[in-house]
Amino acid sequence: MGASMGFPWPVMRSDQSSERAAAGAKRSNPESLLVVTADISATPLSFPSSPSPVTSSTGGGVESSALPLWEYSGDELAAATGRYDGARRRLGQGQTGAVFRGTLLGHDGVAVDVAVKRFHDILSEEKMRLVCRDLRARRFLQDRNVVRLHGYGFCVRYRKLHLVYDYMPHGSLSQHLFAGAGSSAAILSWDRRSKIIAGAARGLHHFHSHGAVHGCVTASNILIDNDFTARLGDFGYSWSRRFRRRCTSPAPTGDIVRMSSETDVLCFGAVVLEVVSGRRSDLDDSGGGDGDRRRFRSLVEWVWALHEAGRILEAADATLGIAAGDDGGCGGGRRRDAVEAKKMLLVGLACSHPDPKQRPKIRDVVEILKSDGVQPPKVPPSKPKYQER
């Protein structure tokens, strides 16, 4: 692909390619063999202008070092995904593209389950060059709370970009939260919810501590690992017209979203409220809402109103059984859960402060969530008025 597109950076056809091919050929997995027999042109790119390897301040360990980013051929990706077999391989469909499950060789020559996102946007060669440059610069964003980006491919015929991520066995947070009664949503116990919120905060901190913004923190972009660790996915799409169109649509609070660390925090706050309440930000979860919830245009408005009335814990998901009266009304572990849920609801409101300058930094949120001993953020008794100038 690199050669046919005439990309400006050198593509290293290193020994690693043949090692990867050899490693794959030894495996019995038919899918990885398929990939191996298709021209192995997944080559590590060199990164002349990108930063040297970094270590995450969030304790991401080895995963936060810069890893090679692979460039896959169209044939290779098609083979890996069973030619984008919609019936058996499609994992989901967003506004910017569709996601398919596949198997490819990883950077260490071991077969890995991957999710291939095929974007709808049709890109010019020039645009593609810019996108790839951006992706190379972003490879340092690898972290244990960020979905690993293995590489990318460009379908020359249809001029579409494909991104190759680690496959996340539990799909997205939204699938669990909003799947409806009797579904896998029951898996989300309070402990798992609290672990997911803390993990998503750490992932976002990783972005911000490297001077990057995520740009679209939503429950569908938080993916769940096999041990229910949250990983942020779907980032760095500012090149996509479809993505930008979506991000300039009204945010949960009615604000217009522009990409900044403050809007990341705003959107994170909305996700926190969704996770604790089990309800969508737009409250469109039960045919218009019940009782006095119907009066509110968004989840955040409803939680602000409950906070104002001194009943914030009533926003917690009833299926968790932690909202019985006040937090003193539950016994033992339930009481601890109630205290934690209340703290998280306050974090959600603090992040939703209408004045971007008053929102906490994500590093403060990480600290607050880290231990029981750290106090919740100070939240005004009622929703502050703020006029954007």
Ligand X SMILES: Nc1ncnc2c1ncn2[C@@H]1O[C@H](COP(=O)(O)OP(=O)(O)OP(=O)(O)O)[C@@H](O)[C@H]1O
Residue with the CB atom nearest ligand X in the bound state: 94
Measured CA to CA, the distance from residue 373 to residue 356 in angstroms comes to 27
| Beta-carbon contacts of residue 174 (< 8 Å; ≥ 6 apart) | 218, 219, 220, 222
Provide Rg for the chain, Cα atoms. 22
- In terms of CB distance, is 55 or 183 closer to ligand X? 183
Interaction between residue 91 and ligand X (CB under 6 A): yes
CA distances from 295 to 269, 271, 303, 359 (A): 21, 21, 12, 26
Residue 117 marked as a ligand binder: yes
Task: Select from 40, 115, 266, 276 the one that contacts ligand X (CB under 6 A).
Answer: 115
Pick from 74, 171, 215, 354: which binds ligand X (CB under 6 A)?
171
Q: Which stretch binds ligand X (CB under 6 A): 18-26, 46-54, 153-161, 219-227?
A: 219-227
Q: How far apart are CA 276 and CA 266, in angstroms?
A: 16
Does the footprint of ligand X cover residue 97 (CB under 6 A)? yes
Q: Does 215 interact with ligand X (rule: CB under 6 A)?
A: no
Candidate segments 129-137, 181-189, 202-210, 220-228, binder of ligand X by CB under 6 A:
220-228
Number of C-beta neighbours around residue 326 at 10 A: 14
Least distance to ligand X, CB of residue 171, Å: 4
Does 235 contact ligand X by CB under 6 A?
no
DSSP string, 303-366: HHHHHHTT-GGGGS-GGGT--SSSGGGS-HHHHHHHHHHHHHHHHHHHHT-SSGGGSPPHHHHH
232 binds ligand X (CB under 6 A): no
50 vs 238, which CB is nearer to ligand X?
238
* Residue whose CB is less far from ligand X, 131 or 338: 131
Question: Residue 184 CB, nearest distance to ligand X (Å)?
Answer: 12
What's the min distance (Å) between Cβ of 73 and ligand X? Answer: 21
Cα–Cα–Cα angle for 51, 65, 27, nearest 5°?
125
Stretch that binds ligand X, among 72-80, 93-101, 271-279, 298-306 (CB under 6 A): 93-101
Can you tell me which residue has the tokens 């494909």? 162
Smaller CB distance to ligand X: residue 56 or 220?
Answer: 220
Gap between the Cα atoms of 31 and 371, Å rounded: 44
Instruction: With CB under 6 A as the rule, give the number of residues binding ligand X.
Output: 22
- When asked if residue 165 is in the footprint of ligand X (CB under 6 A), the reply is yes
- Shortest reach from residue 157's CB to ligand X, in Å: 22
Q: Across-strand partners of 72?
A: 153
274 in contact with ligand X (CB under 6 A): no
Backbone CA torsion sign across 171, 264, 66, 37: positive
Distances (CA, A) of 37 to 34, 166, 369: 5, 22, 48
The reply to whether 103 sits near ligand X by the rule CB under 6 A is no
Pick from 168, 197, 316, 368: which binds ligand X (CB under 6 A)? 168
Q: Does residue 190 sit in helix, strand or coil?
A: helix
Residues 132-161 touching ligand X, rule: CB under 6 A, are: 147
What is the CB neighbour count within 10 angstroms for residue 311?
Answer: 13
- Is residue 167 a contact residue for ligand X (CB under 6 A)? yes
Applying CB under 6 A, the residues found at the interface with ligand X are 91-92, 94-97, 99, 115, 117, 147, 165-168, 171-172, 175, 220-221, 223, 233-234
Annotated binding site for ATP: 117
